[in-house]
Structure 1
Amino acid sequence: RREPLARINLKKKNEETGEEELGSRLDHCKAKATRHIFLIRHSQYNLDGRADKDRTLTPLGREQAELTGQRLASLGLKFDQIIYSSMTRATETTEIISKYLPDNTDLLREGAPIEPDPPVSHWKPEAVQYYEDGARIEAAFRNFIHRADAKQEEDSYEIFVCHANVIRYIVCRALQFPPEGWLRMSLNNGSITHLVIRPNGRVALRTLGDTGFMPPDKITRT
């Protein structure tokens, strides 16, 4: 989101006092709260499914989601909302996680955000997929990853359940890293990535792909 200064006429003066209104206008526009964004990768799913509806969570994937939900609950935070991808594996992960905590969007669906650099030989989407998915995933970043609204008084804790490609791209963009490097990171199923967005717009990465709460035999990366 734009800096408050970009939204103000610096030359405008108060009609009664003749003084510039900059100070009061700025205070009204500035963010005051911190946003905590928890990006959860969906759990292990059936890779043999031909359509999205067939790509349901495996028994192990359901166990992973239970463990992720328990981990989030153990943090003792009051989560304000859960937003999740409309793909089956993400919605099923969300259903399980939600049991442990006191909205559905197509923008967070899996896709190819941008051609990786360096290129890889084992994954080569069609060029058109980068144009279609890339625009959508960039829209998700702009829609969800921003400083708190000026009207928000208290810090917020928000959960987004989505996909590895989306999370990696968002992390690169949020930290102002070259987004082409997104494929250099690896995320386990059910992992937790924690971004913090301060009122001044600065972003910090608290954790990336944390699965330390899972037993080693429950960790997968499909």
Structure 2
Amino acid sequence: MKRDPTSLVKPSKGGSDDNRYNEAVERVKPKAVRHLLLIRHGQYNMSGKSDEERILTDLGRKQAKLTGLRLQELSMPYTRLVRSTMTRANETAQIILSSLPAIPVSDCCLLEEGSPIPPEPPIGSWKPEPCFYQDGARIEAAFRKYFYRAEKSQERDSYDILVCHANVIRYFVCRALQFPPEAWLRLSLHHASITWISVMPSGRVILRALGDTGHMPPDVITSS
């Protein structure tokens, strides 16, 4: 349910009608919480000329393994894992999955890395790719696909794992918290870090963790 429940109920005329109105609102209100765990891929070979060559480094594989073990320790009832179709995200997801119970897995090209929106303040070294405008629309579409309050038919809290990229996650955080999305480049995320966002039944959004790497020793933590 992406709309406020009150928008689905005929407005009250007052008096005794208020009770029927309140009961109707309660019937369509969501009850479950949607948790989204956003995982950045591990360190990868940045010198690769194509996506297929930008594979995880040995350190990146270790980072992904540690994050998989952390998710295992948290022991949440994970609902599914969705991964970006880029090689480094796919590899990271596969390593994470080796530490988790069997859960549904799917690929989503909307989660691929890109330049979501011109940053503010402008950064001299930042230059958007030629497909900048396509990236922005795609990443916004990804946000709308995954960030919404639970349907009223959802009875239990859900825990979705999204394995994707720093720019995508930073944009998601800004959009979810209703911060200016142009601020996305002011956030920094380490490789294989965990960002945890909850969408409450009321539609309120809670950022529970941003770029968490507390499960990694200091010599394993990298961001580029």
In structure 1, what is the Cα distance between the partners aligned to 2:114 and 2:28?
35
| 1:114 match | 117
Q: 1:44-71 CA distances to partner (integer Å, 9 max, x unpaired)?
A: 1111111111111111111010000001
Code of the residue aligned with 1:175 in structure 2: it is: L
In structure 2, what is the Cα distance between the partners aligned to 1:61 and 1:32?
38
Identify the range of structure 1 (171-180 vs 24-33) with the bigger mean alpha-carbon deviation: 24-33
In structure 1, what is the Cα distance between the partners aligned to 2:172 and 2:200?
16
Contact 2:114 2:167 in 1 (8 A): yes
1:124 and 2:123 aligned: no
In structure 2, what is the Cα distance between the partners aligned to 1:29 and 1:54?
49
1:218 and 2:220 aligned: yes
Query: How far did residue 175 of structure 1 move?
Result: 0.4
1:1-222 equivalences under 5 Å are 1-10=2-11, 22-102=21-101, 103-126=106-129, 129-222=131-224
Query: How far did residue 24 of structure 1 move?
Result: 4.5
Query: How far did residue 156 of structure 1 move?
Result: 1.2
Identify the range of structure 1 (48-57 vs 166-175) with the bigger mean alpha-carbon deviation: 48-57
Code of the residue aligned with 2:116 in structure 1: it is: P
In structure 1, what is the Cα distance between the partners aligned to 2:18 and 2:33?
32
In structure 2, what is the Cα distance between the partners aligned to 1:54 and 1:151?
43
Identify the range of structure 1 (19-28 vs 167-176) with the bigger mean alpha-carbon deviation: 19-28
Query: How far did residue 11 of structure 1 move?
Result: 6.8
Contact 1:115 1:130 in 2 (8 A): no
In structure 1, what is the Cα distance between the partners aligned to 2:148 and 2:18?
32
Code of the residue aligned with 1:131 in structure 2: it is: Y
Q: What are structure 2's unaligned runs of at least 5 residues?
A: none
- Report percent identity of matched pairs: 55
Contact 1:44 1:58 in 2 (8 A): yes
Secondary structure at the aligned position of 2:173 is classed as: helix
Q: 1:42-97 CA distances to partner (integer Å, 9 max, x unpaired)?
A: 00111111111111111111101000000111112111110110100001000000
Secondary structure at the aligned position of 1:114 is classed as: coil
In structure 2, what is the Cα distance between the partners aligned to 1:140 and 1:84?
12
Tell me: CA distance 1:7–1:59, structure 2 relative to 1, closer, same or farther (3 Å): same
Code of the residue aligned with 1:82 in structure 2: it is: L
